[in-house]
Amino acid sequence: MNGVPRHVAIIMDGNGRWAVGRGRPRLAGHRAGARTLERVLDWCGEAGIEILTVYAFSTENWTRPKSEVAGLMKLLGAFLRDKRGKLLREHVRFRVIGRREDLAPSLVRSIEALESETASFSRQLVVALSYGGRAEIVAAARKFAKLDVQTEESFASCLYAPDLPDPDLVIRTSGEFRISNFLLWQCAYSEFYVTDVLWPDFDRIEFDRALASYARRDRRMGGVK
Ligand code: FPP
């Protein structure tokens, strides 16, 4: 039996379908998804999970309709404003991984302010924003090329957040069995849990099921027992 995962990463999928199924605009689904994220952060704290990484916006998501992209960016800005107090009170370190150069300067300023205010906390919420696993690997490769010592460890030290341990468990909602360019390097030995539940409907029962499923996995990391 494994214990509680130290690092859980989530592909929060299904916001659009949740909204369309209710005859509502897709952004209503993203707003409901942001509320789910807040609940999941609480459950992670209660379960003793140290790091939660969520896929909020991929490098490919820029191709969505302008209004959806603008709405998502606004939602992220509001999340930073509204949750600042909670993160400080609950000692949660906030970090963003991804291509910051794609983001509006005002959003980057808010991100960096919250990152520095929370930098000393050990529990972490990591938001992947304008994030792509391939883009991260290409950026890392550029740095790696200049290193004298070229090993797997020194390559990992060139990633966006090199101090983070690899995710133990990756959860994907809404039933799709794919990785969608998320943490490609870091997921090499992660356990996966896929549920049909759409992200806005992801509840405590489903969260506990994911942890119970992880606990039963036989993690050999390529070795034998
Ligand atoms: C995928 O669902 C979800 C996204 C592209 C955005 C995720 C964003 C949030 C949950 C809210 C904002 C996050 C923060 C940190 C405030 P989809 O739109 O691809 O759903 P679909 O596959 O049903 O269309």
Ligand 1: centre distance to CA 140 (Å): 26
Residue 138 banded pLDDT, cuts 50, 70, 90: very high
Atom of ligand 1 nearest to the CA of 33: 10
Structure tokens at 100: 């910051």
41-76 pLDDT tens trace: 999 999 999 999 999 999 999 999 999 999 999 999
- Give residue 115's pLDDT: 98
Report field, pTM of the whole predicted structure over 0.75 = yes
Out of 17, 24, 26, 30, give the residue to mutate to test ligand 1, the one with the largest number of ligand atoms within 8 Å of its CB: 30
Q: What value does the mean pLDDT take over residues 76-93?
A: 97
Would you say the CB of residue 202 lies under 6 angstroms from ligand 1? Answer: no
- Give residue 54's pLDDT: 98
Give the span between the Cα atoms of 206 and 221, in whole angstroms: 26
Give the span between the Cα atoms of 2 and 124, in whole angstroms: 21
Mean pLDDT of the chain: 97
Atom of ligand 1 nearest to the CA of 37: 10
**Alpha-carbon distance values, 185 to 25, 39, 99, 158, 159 (Å):** 35, 28, 16, 11, 9
Instruction: Check pLDDT > 80 for residue 224.
Output: no
Would you say the CB of residue 4 lies under 6 angstroms from ligand 1? Answer: no
Residue 221 banded pLDDT, cuts 50, 70, 90: confident
- Are the CB atoms for 168 and 4 separated by under 8 Å? no
Would you say the CB of residue 127 lies under 6 angstroms from ligand 1? Answer: yes
- Give residue 219's pLDDT: 82
Ligand 1: centre distance to CA 55 (Å): 8
- Give residue 218's pLDDT: 83
Beta bridge partners of 43: none
Out of 11, 12, 178, 181, give the residue to mutate to test ligand 1, the one with the largest number of ligand atoms within 8 Å of its CB: 12
Active-site positions read 13, 61
Torsion of CA 127, 49, 201, 66, to 10 degrees: 0
Ligand 1: centre distance to CA 15 (Å): 5
Would you say the CB of residue 53 lies under 6 angstroms from ligand 1? Answer: no
Ligand 1: centre distance to CA 70 (Å): 13
Based on its alpha-carbon atoms, the radius of gyration of the chain, rounded to whole angstroms, reads 17
Give the span between the Cα atoms of 61 and 44, in whole angstroms: 27
Torsion of CA 193, 195, 198, 203, to 10 degrees: -80
